[in-house]
Structure 1
Amino acid sequence: MINQEQKQCKSSTDSAWTETGITDLKNFQAKVKKHNSREKHLNGFIEFSMLGKVDIMWQLDSDYHHNIKIYNENVSKIGLSKTIQNELLESIYEVCLNFIRSELSKANFLAIEVDETTDKINERFISFLRPKSHSANDVTAAVLCELEKMNVHETPEKLIAQCYDGAPVMSGHKSGVQTRIREMYRNTHFIHCYAHQLNLIVERCVMGNKQVWIFFSSLEGISTSFSRSSSRTAILDKVVKKRIPTCPQSVRWNFKSRGVTTVYKHQKEIVECLERNIDDDASDYKTINKATGLKGFLQDADFLFWLNSFNTILSSKLGRSLGTGRPTAKRGRFTESRIVCAPNVCDLITTQIRERFSFNDHLSIAQLFDPLLFAEHQTIFPDKELKTAVNLFNLQSSDLRHKLNMLYGQKDFMKASGALTLLNFLYDNNLAKAFPESVKLLQIIVTFTMTTGEAERCFSMLKRVKTLMRNTMNEDRLSALAMCSLEKELLNRPNFNEMVIDHFAAQKGRRADFVYKQMK
């Protein structure tokens, strides 16, 4: 019975269209016309066209169209409350983070920058953090949490460098943040921010010596005295023809060196400006008192001694800084104290320099790709630098040595302007596979971060984002707005708006509808 029913079913349908195929090509067009008019074919065509769509009955129903219209009108009436704005910013922030995660997963090496307040090597903003306290333990926990959020913990060998300023909490060798981070990420070498180097050494001297502290306090008083008055600034521009640097938060590491140099070069002119302020009939008693005090500092033997000393130190001529400041009859007791303080200050500076430059292997490795040294390397191969690179980053010594000799032998490569230019050249000309170890080492060199300047610049952006009208902003909203301001190129990527909308609409627990319905 079953076989007979199957035969009857096959006979009722044209098996040539489903099983055997058309063999009679002479009558093919006639068969096509006949098949297109068959009821079974038309029913199948309708069902295929409606696949995944609303039932035919609902599409033809006028109430269905009316309900969709009312629903979409209600969606359009939804306003942007504070909660919706925050969730939209959160969606923008998460989409940007997804882009950054994708970039991190494709990158071969990573480095992190952290502070308290771009060519083909990309620097990306992640977020502003508020740790529970400023202790090394809490700051480390906050940094590790962000690294885990960006999936860096899945490939810990990629993270090869960390760059902080000279605060003991960050740079401590025993229990600082850099030491704790390296316990989790073994290859993460600590590099002290090179933009802070000498300035932080000077600040350490300030904290350890009262005379030096008084000197820098007086120096800052000179700069603020002129910067806070337009009339005094006009006198300074007329006499000195140069402004005395103030101490802005965005570039505070440059203040002391520039301030010392300016006051040292224009000492007599600044005294003349102060005398004009004193003699000006329009000056009030506070201005006269302050100008008189600053003039006394500029003529004081102790102030002049430290001014000359630190000008020499900050000009990298430390050896001549102690031969100044002859004793006088009236100031003999101060001269004697200077003789005691000056060697202590020099010892402290020397100790701090050695500590901050304790890791400099990245500088010696960079000499392998210094085009100015290629001719010298061709004659005498830099075995010491090669050995350092191989030991630090587990490279193949023989292959790297062979490829470096080839680079040193090419005169055209001597015209490169640096490691980044050479790396881009190898990629642009499809030579990366021919020089695998060299490319890997070049990637490491250009990934090593030297300053936290980019992290510092983020805080100048805060003046535009966190204004006085927004001083109660929470941390998540602040990070989202900062991401929009700092990473504008991510917002211009294709389909970015659609991705944000999808992320926003997909969040659960909503009482209102945010997605329009379309008639299918």
Structure 2
Amino acid sequence: MHHLSEKIKKHETSRIHIDSCLKLSAFGSVNIATQLDDGYRLALRRHNDEVGKNRHILGRLIDGVKFCGVFELALRGRDESEGSSNPGIFRGLVQLIASLDEVFEEHLKTATVFKGTSKTVQNELLDCMAAVIRARITEEVKSASFVAIQADETTDVSTQTQMVMVLRYIDGSHAVQERFFEFVPLSSSTADSIATAIMERLNSLFTEEERGKLIAQAYDGANVMRGEKAGVQQKVREHYKNAHYLHCYAHQLNLIMQQATSQVPAVRVFFSDLNGISSFFSRSPKRTTILDQVVARRLPRASATRWNFNSRVVNTVYENLDDLIECFEAISTDGSFDCTTVREASGYLRMLQDDDFKFFLHLFHQIMPHVDIMYQQLQKKDIDAVFIKRALQSFTSSVQAIRDQSSSPEQQQVAAGTTGKRRALGEQDKQRLSKEVCDTILGHANERFSFTSHLVSATLLQGDLFEQYCHVFPDEALNTTAKAYPMLNKAKLKTELSLIYESPDFKGCSGALALYQVLQRNNLHETLSETVALLNILITTPMTTAEAERCFSTLKRIKTFLRNSMGQDRLNALAMLSMERELVRNMPDFNERVIDHFAALKER
């Protein structure tokens, strides 16, 4: 031991020690001789260059498929052979890219194994793109605190029943997202079939422990969806206890206006006559020409399901009433029109000059702007229960003001009405009809937009009520909220809300989303954790299924203009690229992810 240090130094310089160190460093690695070989290095560099070239070419093919998907263009043409006059948009894009990219052009000329333009490769690329986007959406869902689903079903042009599923949540940037997830083919439209399809998708998204994150399910209000005993919403709630049902408020608004127009016979006749004007001009180019010459404005076509279209007809006719009368007079006196056109024009002329018609036109011209405002608010994805509560109060106040004015002298001057006997109504009947229409709208609005059960929680964060809550705390609403969402700490939530109600900084709160973002920006999400959780729930709860309707618009375009008989996977991929184009655009490594996914499909 006395000479140990000296012996170690001597051993470190010995041949056997140095040889052992060399063998240890090379143990399990490539032979040094091979690494030093120029031929091996050259082959490795050539291989890497080939891989880089292949990924570059595949990236160009992905750009072409992505372009067609985003703009809902048909990838394949009637004949994709060389020299075809109709090769399809994708092949046309490939040729355009080749003219701008020498590497890609050389590949198309020399490739023998993998050219990349076949329909098989197109389908595989579409599958990979859909998988990458869906994986990104799944990541966002996993990181979100709460999630809601929207579902609706329709029959496409190929008579296949399709259900769309949309996910709503708040992402990492504190923005509201409504993501298209999938078109699901249904064997039937029964509650069991729809619920089974929804449950399969939900079970793939949430583990057993995460099921409490699903806090809402929104449908269009059909009996098969909303049934409390055997409906879809009840079947989902058996497994997801916190998934409260919500009837789409955009559908509710349409139902309110339908009730207002169907319960009063004279109003029903008015809208029937009004919509006839649009149909009259749309049936003949010659009629449309004279309309453009005299009125210089086309009449919009009314829709049975979209009340904003009925509103546009009312406003157009009201604003151009004198011009329309002049137009119908011109048609009646013009000898070039056929007898049917002259007869119908004379009837519409008498209708436009009728005091009864003018009365209802004036009445609904006052009501429809408020319906328009409400309708536009319901079409936004970033609305929440607090926002809708305030919008509803504004809507009912406006309709109530119109009702109160119905007996004013100005209203009486234009007021007139009709009954089944076509007898002009007296002043009392005019007032009665105006009030009846307004009362119908107000009654159904309060009934259908009632904030009961879990939606009562919206009143806890309604800014204009904070002053009142300072004196009398809304314990009943708090108890209902705690019962609906057991994940909230009731005691801590009450303390936090009390402080918010007393603070003057929060009394100008304009909505749940604005308050949520302010708390996040000021790092108060931990201090006011329960309030932030409640805000997250309110914002995540969808008040309308407008996104589902937009998905169906995309479905119609894809199925009609592309290929009615396309496979379900291809349909979902094209729909995903179209509807989630912003998500694709914001993923800088999207092409790389797709290439990695594509390379993993099989040995390439």
Task: State whether TM-score is above 0.5.
Answer: yes
Name the counterpart of 2:472. Answer: 380
Equivalent position of 2:577 in the other structure: 484
Shift of 1:253: 4.1
Could you tell me whether the CA contact under 8 Å between 1:132 and 1:138 is conserved in 2?
Answer: yes
CA deviations over 1:437-463 (Å, ceiling 9, x no partner):
111111111112112222222334346
Secondary structure, counterpart of 2:149 in structure 1: strand
d(CA) in 1 for partners of 2:481, 2:142: 24
1:493 aligns with 2:584: no
User: What is the rounded CA distance, in whole Å, between the counterparts of 1:191 and 1:144 in structure 2?
Assistant: 18
2:426 matches 1:371: no
SS of equivalent residue, structure 1 residue 331: coil
Question: 64-73 or 318-327: which moved more?
Answer: 64-73
The one-letter code sitting in structure 1 at the alignment partner of 2:30 is M
Cα deviation for residue 268 of structure 1 reads 4.6
Code of the aligned partner of 2:310: K
Match of 1:435 in 2: 528
Counterpart amino acid of 1:87?
E
**CA contact under 8 A between 1:200 and 1:253: conserved in structure 2?**
no
1:48-68, Cα deviation, whole Å (9 max, x unpaired): 5428xx999997599999999
* Counterpart position of 2:179: 124
The residue number in structure 2 matching 1:252 is: 306
1:147 aligns with 2:241: no
Q: Indicate the larger mover: 149-158 or 122-131.
A: 149-158
Residues 208-265 of structure 1: CA distance to partner in whole angstroms, max 9, x if unpaired? 898766654443332244456677557656766765433479x824223443454456
What do the CA deviations read for 1:70-102 (whole angstroms, capped 9, x no partner)?
A: 998878634332222112211111121111111
* Correspondence 1:102 to 2:102: no
- SS of alignment partner, residue 216 of structure 2: strand
Match of 2:422 in 1: 331
Contact 1:301 1:325 in 2 (8 A): yes
d(CA) in 2 for partners of 1:115, 1:142? 12
In 1, the alpha carbon distance for the partners of 2:531 and 2:222 equals 35
Matched with 1:504 is 598
The corresponding residue for 1:93 is 130
Within the candidate set 448, 465, 487, 2:541 is matched to: 448
435-444 or 378-387, larger mean C-alpha shift: 378-387
Q: Tell me how far apart the structure 1 counterparts of residues 362 and 509 of structure 2 sit (CA, whole Å).
A: 41
Question: 2:593 is aligned with what amino acid?
Answer: M
Which residue of structure 1 lines up, in the alignment, with residue 506 of structure 2? 413
**What is the rounded CA distance, in whole Å, between the counterparts of 2:420 and 2:523 in structure 1?**
75
- The CA RMSD over aligned residues, in Å, is 4.9
1:219 matched to 2:255: no
Question: 1:479 and 1:33 mapped to 2: Cα distance?
Answer: 70
Q: Which letter maps to 1:124?
A: R
CA separation in 2, counterparts of 1:292 and 1:172? 50
Corresponding letter in the other structure for 1:505: A
Does the residue aligned with 1:114 lie in a helix, a strand or coil? strand
* 8 Å contact from structure 2 (residues 216, 244) kept in 1: yes
Given that 1:113 and 1:164 are in contact with CA atoms closer than 8 Å, whether structure 2 keeps it comes out as yes
**Cα–Cα, structure 1 residues 151 and 330, in superposed 2: closer, same or farther, change >3 Å?**
closer
Deviation at 1:418, TM superposition (A): 2.4
Q: Which amino acid aligns with 1:331?
A: R
Match of 1:181 among 217, 220, 236: 236
**Whole-Å Cα distance in 2 between the matches of residues 260 and 58 of structure 1?**
83
Query: Percent same amino acid among aligned pairs?
Result: 41
Does the 8 A contact of 2:356 with 2:418 survive in 1?
A: no
User: 1:29-428, aligned counterparts within 5 Å?
Assistant: 31=12, 38=19, 40-50=20-30, 77-117=114-154, 120-151=175-206, 155-173=210-228, 175-203=230-258, 215-226=270-281, 244-247=299-302, 252-264=306-318, 266-280=320-334, 283-284=337-338, 287-295=341-349, 297-298=351-352, 316-317=399-400, 331-332=422-423, 353=445, 356-361=448-453, 364-394=456-486, 395-428=488-521
Q: Structure 1 residues 347 and 25 mapped into 2: Cα distance closer, same or farther (>3 Å)?
A: farther
- Residue 461 in 1 paired to residue 572 in 2? no
1:389, distance to aligned residue in structure 2 (A):
1.8
Equivalents in 1 of 2:442, 2:263: separation in Å?
14
Q: Which moved more, 1:365-374 or 1:277-286?
A: 277-286
Give the residue type in structure 2 aligned to 1:105.
Answer: K
Whether the aligned pair in 1 keeps the contact of 2:416 and 2:425 (CA below 8 Å) is no
Aligned to 2:523, the other structure's residue is in SS state: coil
**Deviation (angstroms), 1:125:** 0.8
Q: Is the 8 A contact 1:59 1:65 kept in 2?
A: no
Distance in structure 1 (CA, Å) of the matches to 2:498 and 2:367: 41
More moved, 103-112 vs 383-392: 383-392
CA 1:257–1:186: 2 relative to 1, 3 Å: farther
- Bigger RCO of structures 1 and 2 (CA < 8 A, at least 6 apart): 1
Q: Secondary structure, in 3 states, of the residue corresponding to 2:250?
A: coil
Query: How big is the shift at 1:480?
Result: 0.8
User: 1: CA distance between counterparts of 2:420 and 2:142?
Assistant: 70
C-alpha distance in 1 between matches for 2:508 and 2:46: 72
Q: C-alpha separation between the residues in 2 aligned to 1:421 and 1:33?
A: 75
Kept in 2, the 8 Å contact 1:199–1:257? The answer is no
Q: CA deviation at 1:490?
A: 3.3
* Conserved 8 A contact 2:214-2:243: yes
Contact 1:419 1:446 in 2 (8 A): yes
Q: CA separation of 1:178/1:356 partners in 2, compared to 1, >3 Å: closer, same or farther?
A: farther
Question: Structure 1 residues 486, 421: CA separation in 2 closer, same or farther (over 3 Å shift)?
Answer: same
Given that 2:123 and 2:570 are in contact with CA atoms closer than 8 Å, whether structure 1 keeps it comes out as yes
Contact 1:101 1:151 in 2 (8 A): no
Scaled by the length of structure 2, the TM-score of the pair is: 0.65
Return closer, same or farther for 1:408/1:288 CA change in 2, 3 Å cut-off. same
CA gap of 1:423–1:343, structure 2 versus 1, over 3 A, is closer
Q: How many residues align?
A: 482
Once the two structures are superposed, residues 303-356 of structure 1 have per-residue CA deviations (whole angstroms, 9 ceiling, x without a partner) of: 667667766776635858899755689735999xx9xx9999999878855663
How many Å separate the matches in 2 of 1:275 and 1:178?
A: 56
CA distance in 2, matches of 1:473, 1:98: 23
Residues 42-51 or 306-315, more deviating? 306-315
d(CA) in 2 for partners of 1:327 and 1:488?
52
- Please report the TM-score for the alignment, with normalisation by the length of structure 1: 0.73
1:432-491 per-residue CA deviation (whole Å, 9 max, x = no partner) reads 111111111111111121122222223343465445343332322121111112212432
Taking the aligned partners of 1:207 and 1:334, their CA distance within structure 2 comes to 19
SS at match of 1:502: helix
Counterpart amino acid of 1:450?
M
* Equivalence for 1:7: none
CA distance in 1, matches of 2:326, 2:229: 51
**Partners of 2:229 and 2:204 in 1: CA distance:** 27
Taking the aligned partners of 2:47 and 2:351, their CA distance within structure 1 comes to: 83
